[in-house]
Amino acid sequence: MFDSEVGETRAERSEQPLSDLPRAAQLEQLRARMAAIPPRSGASAPHASAPQQTGRVTEDVEVIPIEGPLGQLLPHGGLPRGSVVCCSGSATILMGLLAQASGAGRNVAMVGNPGAGWLACAELGGELERIAHVLPPPGSDVLEVVTILADGIDVIALSDPSVTAAPARSKVITARIRERGAVLLTASPTVIRPSLTITARARGYDGLGQGSGRLRRILFEVAVTERSGSRRTARIVLDATLPERVRWHQAGASPSRTQSGLERTG
């Protein structure tokens, strides 16, 4: 599983890393990269939407559609534009969301996380040409980078749970995300208060023997919780045995050879 070679993301081909530049030049280069990114897929066509019932008024919620069992768990079948979504537990779920968004033609960015698994993203159907991997130097204002990216990126992932925003700053960033119709994925609810939380835990593995074998399937327990307290749960499988690529599917049962004692995230 995840054995093939993969190309570079757009940011990894940049001529000069941000860390080699002073702060003002970093922001200037980041804005230049933003200008070179193709227009959002929704700029020339309406976003997918789903009806939302609020009292007696039904309004459309613009979403970035997510297919398969992950999408079935989400309140509107996708990631609501203008929202902050916390993805806690296994990082595989976050990478799966980035893969689906980029594979469908959306612009995606990862801020930080130098060890991000882009090979896994590609095998999940991600389009690396539409992904910018931004690595701010130590001590830089990561949240300012997120704010700039919101101008032209559909889905922004901030995977460092140690980043926090004061309440006033959090409101400003949330308003910017909402105004621009972007989606911010965070690794912890303490970064910015989310409107939606996705929690995933690996519960079973298939393909591993006594010191041998290759990981073929992973069983996850996934819960999606809205700010209102509404909660949905499901058991889904990440399956690497299919001929085309790695796919998600609903779990009818645990993998045939499960090692539930293993607890592994990522």
Q: What are the pLDDT digits (tens) for 80-130? A: 999 999 999 999 999 999 999 999 999 999 999 998 989 889 999 999 999
- Residue 157 · residue 195 · CB < 8 Å: no
Domains of the chain: 11-37+61-191 (3.40.50.300)
Q: Counting Cβ atoms within 10 Å, is residue 204 exposed (0-12), middle (13-18) or buried (19+)? A: buried
What confidence score (pLDDT) does residue 140 get? 86
What confidence score (pLDDT) does residue 259 get? 41
**In the block, which residue shows the tokens 């612009």?**
107
What confidence score (pLDDT) does residue 13 get? 46
User: Residue 36 CA to chain centroid, in angstroms?
Assistant: 22
Residue ranges in the chain whose pLDDT is less than 50: 1-6, 11-15, 42-47, 49-58, 253-266
For residue 70, count other CB atoms closer than 10 A to its CB.
23
- Helix H or strand E encompassing 239: strand 231-239
- φ and ψ at residue 18, rounded to 5 degrees: -60, -35
pTM of the model as a whole: 0.77
